[in-house]
A and B are shown apart, each in its own frame.
Chain A
Amino acid sequence: MSTLDILLQQLANGLILGSFYALVALGYTMVYGIIKLLNFAHGDLYMCGAFIGFLFLSLVSGLLGESWGGILCSMILSMITVGLLGVLIQRVAYLPMLAAPRLSILITALAVSMVLSNGVMALTDGEYEAFSTDLGFEGLEMGNVFVTYTQIALVVSAALLMVTLFFFINRTMYGKAMRAIAIDQDACRLMGINVNKVITLTFFIGSALAAAAGVMAGVYYGSVHFFMGFVIGLKAFTAAVIGGIGSIRGAMLGGLVLGLLEAFGTQIPFIGSEWKDVFSFGILILLLVFKPTGLLGKTEIERM
């Protein structure tokens, strides 16, 4: 393979990885934007999404098969279930803590994360589950670069979800209310907006997007595991910070940038794929030093 081919192949890999990061980063950034909470349980919702998708797929596979029909159906069901799980977490764990000091709710989020990952560990005996599908390995070959149809479908689905979200946030009343709440909650109350209802909706959407990414990751990697949410949670947080936390466009951009950097990072001599996590968190540290507001974030003094 020529250098150009390698770069193109990494571009494809980076886009796929980046779409997962972006989908998860969106939930991080939306929740942060609206109640200034770093929801550390968000990566675990991605993991739950993968497992619930896996469960639904085994339920519907008799009827719809384990190909696109079954996968799409189980992905939608997983998004709804995990969306409701996110709402439940918000109501039970976060709502009572909103008036408490910021640190208390942050620690609550860590606790929720542990409850979810350990809960799933107990249920699955900590085993890897094979996420088997009937998707083939056919794909497009362009020169020496090879991309499977599955990979293309994953990137396209992620893009569709993001475009839908973008439309919702910018064009619908509830989407605008969501952005307005991130700016001034009391003013929103005076517009007649039921702020708690919009916060609940935000949790639903953010969690559903994480679930979608979880199912996609299950399809892509072929297995699911209770610990799979941990690293992606940190990576998605990194992506959200790269883009500028609180910014929707920033999360999409940050996810793609991080995915691409990681993919290309594996090609740098002496770094290689074992060092890719060090590479991405190194980027986070550099960014925090030189541009702490992120690529699209606004300068704002924020207490934590």
Chain B
Amino acid sequence: MSDVILEIRDVETYYGKIHALRGISFSVEAGEIVTLLGANGAGKSTTLRTISGLNRAKAGSISFMGEEITTKSPHEIVSMGLIHVPEGRRIFKGMTIKENLELGSFTLKDESERRRRMEHVYELFPVLHERRQRDAALLSGGEQQMLAMGRALMTDTKLLLLDEPSMGLAPFMVQGIMKIIKRLNAEGVTILLVEQNAKAALKLADYGYVLETGEIVVKGKAGKLQQDESIVKAYLGE
């Protein structure tokens, strides 16, 4: 058995008065790709925001690499190596691509380590290297996603939370992004992937959970979920 890197237990989160997460529990093992699926508003993004500390859990506990992080602030969680690429990419428009990447390495103190990681990101996404001095706002949607992922890899990333990386992208771009996710996983990064594109996500993942109105309604090995037509029809709308 491999180690559990992320453990979520009975977590409840509210958005004002809306009960967005109604007690969800799941875990992610080191080295896995786990995907969270479900319709719009099911609570997928809220789950990620609660893990990374942007939203506070009202009840339950979250632990990362054996350490409780439920009440830690986002910047402390990031410095432990848990990196969240939010929905909509949220790159810093008005700053250059290079500056965006540098900000991703804010928690790094070592300059040579920063350079080494930047080389790695440029190797993964050559287009970012070509345009490194340009305003990030000028990138296309797919390139912005690359920048958001590249920025997340600028530090000692152990667990990567990806929120809808394929959203709004052309099909060939989706394939490219999925390939990159697979490669990062092969390089040792554990991945928790939120997707609307269930087909693409299940093809990649080891394990999947389906969320509906703030609760986990189905879970299982990705291969099984993929074959189970009733699940696919009922929850994933394919």
* Chain A residues within CB distance 8 Å of chain B: 173, 176-177, 179-180, 183-184, 186-195, 298
Contacts and interface: CB of A to CB of B under 8 A. Distances in A.
A76 B146 CA distance: 45
A97 B84 CA distance: 28
27 contacts: A173-B102, A173-B103, A176-B95, A176-B99, A176-B102, A177-B103, A180-B95, A183-B92, A183-B95, A184-B90, A186-B54, A187-B86, A187-B90, A187-B91, A188-B103, A189-B54, A190-B54, A190-B83, A190-B84, A191-B78, A191-B106, A191-B107, A192-B75, A193-B75, A193-B103, A193-B106, A298-B94
A298 B137 CA distance: 13
Given A180-B92, A183-B94, A183-B95, A191 B54 contact: no
Task: Pick the 3 closest A-B CB pairs, nearest first.
Answer: A192-B78, A189-B74, A192-B107
What is the predominant secondary structure among interface residues of chain A facing chain B?
Answer: helix
Nearest to A193: B106
A191 B95 contact: no
A223 B214 CA distance: 66
Nearest to B52: A190
A176 B74 CA distance: 19
Nearest to B53: A189
B104 interface: yes
B145 to A, nearest CB: 14
A190 B54 CA distance: 8
Given A173-B106, A192-B107, 10 more contacts: A180-B95, A183-B95, A187-B86, A187-B91, A189-B54, A189-B73, A190-B74, A190-B83, A192-B78, A195-B75
B77 to A, nearest CB: 8
B93 interface: yes
Given A186-B54, A186-B86, A191 B93 contact: no
Interface in B51-100: 52-54, 73-75, 78-79, 83-86, 90-95, 99
A194 B75 contact: yes
Given A190-B86, A194-B75, A184 B92 contact: yes
Contacts of A188: 103
Contacts of B45: none
B151 interface: yes
B47 interface: no
Given A183-B95, A192-B79, A194-B75, A176 B103 contact: yes
B75 A180 contact: no
Contact of B155 (A173, A180, A192): A192
A186 B78 CA distance: 12
Contacts of B90: 184, 186-187, 190
B111 to A, nearest CB: 10
Interface in B151-176: 151, 155
Contacts of B107: 191-192
A183 to B, nearest CB: 5
Contacts of B106: 173, 177, 191-193
Contacts of A183: 92-95
A169 to B, nearest CB: 11
A76 B178 CA distance: 55
